[in-house]
């Protein structure tokens, strides 16, 4: 029996890699299992010497780990692109989001604004500053703990507007996704994969990485709120 290929991923890609792992096991006979956590925590685990074969993480964080020697050279490849979307609790008013003026109004009209850790959360805070709203919104921003979807703060009543990767918000109960941010305020993240230098089975790990970039994987990613990073 094939030994399991283990992977580490961020929470944003968990729905995609979980579904693809089952497909790869069923169709290709390669057992694959990904352990997902917040992107910051996943990077910390890699630096601490976690034993795994594959890594799927936001492009910038993965590039840093590759530069530090934690990934095998020439295995890093872009996989999927994910957009940050806005969401509100089910049963509340859904603000318009068709223009930058709409976005400003939605932000100023919210009492508590949830956002995530990692690159998308940093990008949102930078965007709020670029819109000139940092001072007005400083006391209203609520950062979700690492590994916790910002959307859960909507359903628990701790926020009335949230921003996070579409894949992390689309299946949450009692949450309504409004859509991506308008015009030049749009925020997207590229997620890449690579074979970890710590892998005991780099050959099979490369094979699985190739399958994560296949046409089948692209269809799965689209169904999970992402798009392939390359045409």
CATH number of the CATH domain containing 140: 3.40.190.10
If asked whether residues 116 and 130 sit together in one domain, one would say: yes
If asked whether residues 35 and 107 sit together in one domain, one would say: no
What pTM did the predictor assign?
Answer: 0.85
CB distance 225 to 170 below 8 Å: yes
End-to-end CA distance of the chain: 35
If asked whether residues 165 and 204 sit together in one domain, one would say: no
Residue 20: domain span: 5-80+190-228
**How is residue 74 written in tokens?**
């020439």
Along the 231 residues of the chain, how does pLDDT read in single tens digits? 468 999 999 988 999 999 999 999 999 999 999 999 988 899 999 999 999 999 999 999 999 999 999 999 899 999 999 999 999 999 999 999 999 999 999 999 999 999 988 788 899 999 999 999 999 999 999 999 887 889 899 989 999 999 998 988 888 899 999 999 999 999 998 999 999 999 999 999 999 999 999 998 999 999 988 999 975
If asked whether residues 181 and 86 sit together in one domain, one would say: yes
Contacts of 182 (CB under 8 A, 6+ apart): 97, 98, 99, 100, 102, 103
Four-residue CA torsion sign, 14, 19, 20, 24: positive
If asked whether residues 206 and 118 sit together in one domain, one would say: no
If asked whether residues 60 and 102 sit together in one domain, one would say: no
Query: How many structural domains comprise the chain?
Result: 2
71 strand-pairing partners: 196
**CA separation (Å) from 162 to 40, 141, 178, 181, 229?**
20, 10, 10, 12, 25
**CA separation (Å) from 53 to 11, 32, 111, 186?**
18, 10, 43, 33
If asked whether residues 218 and 196 sit together in one domain, one would say: yes
Distance (Å, whole) CA 120 – CA 164: 7
If asked whether residues 111 and 28 sit together in one domain, one would say: no
Question: Token match 């916790």: residue?
Answer: 148
Give the HSE-up count for residue 201: Cα atoms under 13 Å, Cβ half-sphere: 17
If asked whether residues 155 and 201 sit together in one domain, one would say: no
């Amino acid at each position: 029996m094939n030994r399991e290929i283990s992977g580490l991923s961020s929470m944003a890609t968990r729905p995609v890699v979980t579904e693809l792992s089952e497909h790869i096991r069923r169709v290709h006979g390669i057992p694959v299992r990904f352990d997902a956590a917040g992107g910051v925590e996943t990077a910390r685990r890699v630096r601490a010497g976690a034993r795994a074969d594959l890594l799927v993480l936001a492009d910038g964080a993965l590039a840093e780990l590759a530069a530090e020697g934690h990934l095998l050279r020439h295995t890093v490849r872009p996989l999927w692109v994910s957009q940050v979307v806005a969401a509100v609790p089910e049963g509340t008013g859904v603000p318009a989001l068709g223009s930058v003026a709409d976005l400003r109004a939605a932000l100023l009209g919210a009492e508590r604004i949830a956002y995530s850790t990692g690159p998308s959360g940093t990008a949102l805070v930078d965007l709020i500053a670029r819109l000139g709203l940092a001072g007005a919104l400083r006391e209203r921003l609520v950062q979700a703990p690492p590994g916790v979807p910002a959307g859960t703060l909507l359903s628990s009543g701790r926020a009335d507007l949230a921003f996070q990767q579409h894949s992390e918000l689309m299946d949450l109960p009692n949450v309504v996704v409004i859509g991506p941010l308008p015009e030049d305020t749009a925020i997207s993240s590229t997620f890449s994969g690579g074979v970890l230098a710590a892998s005991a089975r780099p050959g099979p790990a490369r094979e699985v990485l190739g399958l994560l970039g296949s046409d089948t994987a692209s269809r799965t990613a689209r169904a999970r709120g992402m798009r392939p990073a390359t045409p």
